[in-house]
């Protein structure tokens, strides 16, 4: 991950952040002029007067391709259920195209998980994202929405979110593309200034409030488009600083704090400490954003599932998708009311679909692909026909 952060940009975004909370400025988001059906002002205050009645949401997300290897981990996640409601743990998956099995993507979706976009190519050249025009962002993100919808048999209207590769945007070009392609939310911007208490998701009616850690950030206003902040995590290293105190490490994703915890107790404490910072302050949704590879270490994997199992026993904690969190924020209700609601609506058993059945998908193989130096690519898709060409940038359906 590449951080491009200068003193001048710090001053600019410090000013913008201050203006969002200063009623005398044009950047101020006035709640009375922000209808909850389409707008939500930036806030670090609890969404209900009584903190004890605010549901604590935990947003588990995973980035990159979905395949037979990491699906076993995901299965261990969604097979767990809340003690009070019997509702399964739900997560959000930001999917890239290469090495993705769209039959498995469909299976995640039909179990109530959310599928979101992480680009087609996941190009490792950061400069290509930094300088990309609106048209390229639309080809990558809007194209991936079409690709997922078609090959994983998921309605486009249910593919609502974006996370940009390596968290590297092109500023307003990226957010303009999101708007033009009809996305509901972005979750690509790390937040360092609003950690304790943490920042809630908010709409960009008055622009970005987050501190700009990875330039460029958008300067424009995008009414109705949500920003789901990557509130920084804190980890206390087992090593000590020169004053004999544990070193504090901050990161935008769970797996980005280094050194990675290498014992079960260290990893569990790391996860629980960050949860408690949200739970005991304002109960802003906790972002547990990561890549599945962090769980390849058996100690971290044990700690992760111990963490989930601990929270599933709490009567006011819910593992749910990002879109479900945004739905709640449009109309916040007490924990008791929310529990009654999801008890009636959560998906306890997979939805019946043709792609979910034994013969509802087909394996496709493509050889001699120039963008991969002739190496083959494989994909499994819903339906009974493979596209004639390997789906890729500017040809997401493989026509």
347, 111 Cβ separation under 8 angstroms: yes
Q: Which residues contact 326 (CB under 8 A, 6 or more apart)?
A: 184, 185, 201, 226, 228
CA dist 277 and 37 (Å) reads 29
Give per-residue pLDDT as tens, 40-59: 999 999 999 999 999 999 99
Residue that wins the pLDDT comparison between 53 and 359: 53
Give per-residue pLDDT as tens, 121-160: 999 999 999 999 999 999 999 999 999 999 999 999 999 9
Average pLDDT, the chain: 92
The whole-number pLDDT of residue 246 equals 75
The whole-number pLDDT of residue 16 equals 42
The whole-number pLDDT of residue 210 equals 82
Residue listed under structure tokens 């504090």: 248
Instruction: Work out the average pLDDT over 182-209.
Output: 96
The whole-number pLDDT of residue 12 equals 42
Instruction: Work out the average pLDDT over 168-174.
Output: 98
Token couple for 390: 């390997």
Q: Which residues contact 353 (CB under 8 A, 6 or more apart)?
A: 106, 110, 153, 360
Domains contained in the chain, CATH given: 7-17+54-228+260-345 (3.20.20.370)
Residue 149 C-beta-side C-alpha neighbours within 13 Å:
13
How large a percentage of the chain has pLDDT more than 90?
85
Q: Would you say the pTM of this structure is higher than 0.75?
A: yes
């Amino acid at each position: 991950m590449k951080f491009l952060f200068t003193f001048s940009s710090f001053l600019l975004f410090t000013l913008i952040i201050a203006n969002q909370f200063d009623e005398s400025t044009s950047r101020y988001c006035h709640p009375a002029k922000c209808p909850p059906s389409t707008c939500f002002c930036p806030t670090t205050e609890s969404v209900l007067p009584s903190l004890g009645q605010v549901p604590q949401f935990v947003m588990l997300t995973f980035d990159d391709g979905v395949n037979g290897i990491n699906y076993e981990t995901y299965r261990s996640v969604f097979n767990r259920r809340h003690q009070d409601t019997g509702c399964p743990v739900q997560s959000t998956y930001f999917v890239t195209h290469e090495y993705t099995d769209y039959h498995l993507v469909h299976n995640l979706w039909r179990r109530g998980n959310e599928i979101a976009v992480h680009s087609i190519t996941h190009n490792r050249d950061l400069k290509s994202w930094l300088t990309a025009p609106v048209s390229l962002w639309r080809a990558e993100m809007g194209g991936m929405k079409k690709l997922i919808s078609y090959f994983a048999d998921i309605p486009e209207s249910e593919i609502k979110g974006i996370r940009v590769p390596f968290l590297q945007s092109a500023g307003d070009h990226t957010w303009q593309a999101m708007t033009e392609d009809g996305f509901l939310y972005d979750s690509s911007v790390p937040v360092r200034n609003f950690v304790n208490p943490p920042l809630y998701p908010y709409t960009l009616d008055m622009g970005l409030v987050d501190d700009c850690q990875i330039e460029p950030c958008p300067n424009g206003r995008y009414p109705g488009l949500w920003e789901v902040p990557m509130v920084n995590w804190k980890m206390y290293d087992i090593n000590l600083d020169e004053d004999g105190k544990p070193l504090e490490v901050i990161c935008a994703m769970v797996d980005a704090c280094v050194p990675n915890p290498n014992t079960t107790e260290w990893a569990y404490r790391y996860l629980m400490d960050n949860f408690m910072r949200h739970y005991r302050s304002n109960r802003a949704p906790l972002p547990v954003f990561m890549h599945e590879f962090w769980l390849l270490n058996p100690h971290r994997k044990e700690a992760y599932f111990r963490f989930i199992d601990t929270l599933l026993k709490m009567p006011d904690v819910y593992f749910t998708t990002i879109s479900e969190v945004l739905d709640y924020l449009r109309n916040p209700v007490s924990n008791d009311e929310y529990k009654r609601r999801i008890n009636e609506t959560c998906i306890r058993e997979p939805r019946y679909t043709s792609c979910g059945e034994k013969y509802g998908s087909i394996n496709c193989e493509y050889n001699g692909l120039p963008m991969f130096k002739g190496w083959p690519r494989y994909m499994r898709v819903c339906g009974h026909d493979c596209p004639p060409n390997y789906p890729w940038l500017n040809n997401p359906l493989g026509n």
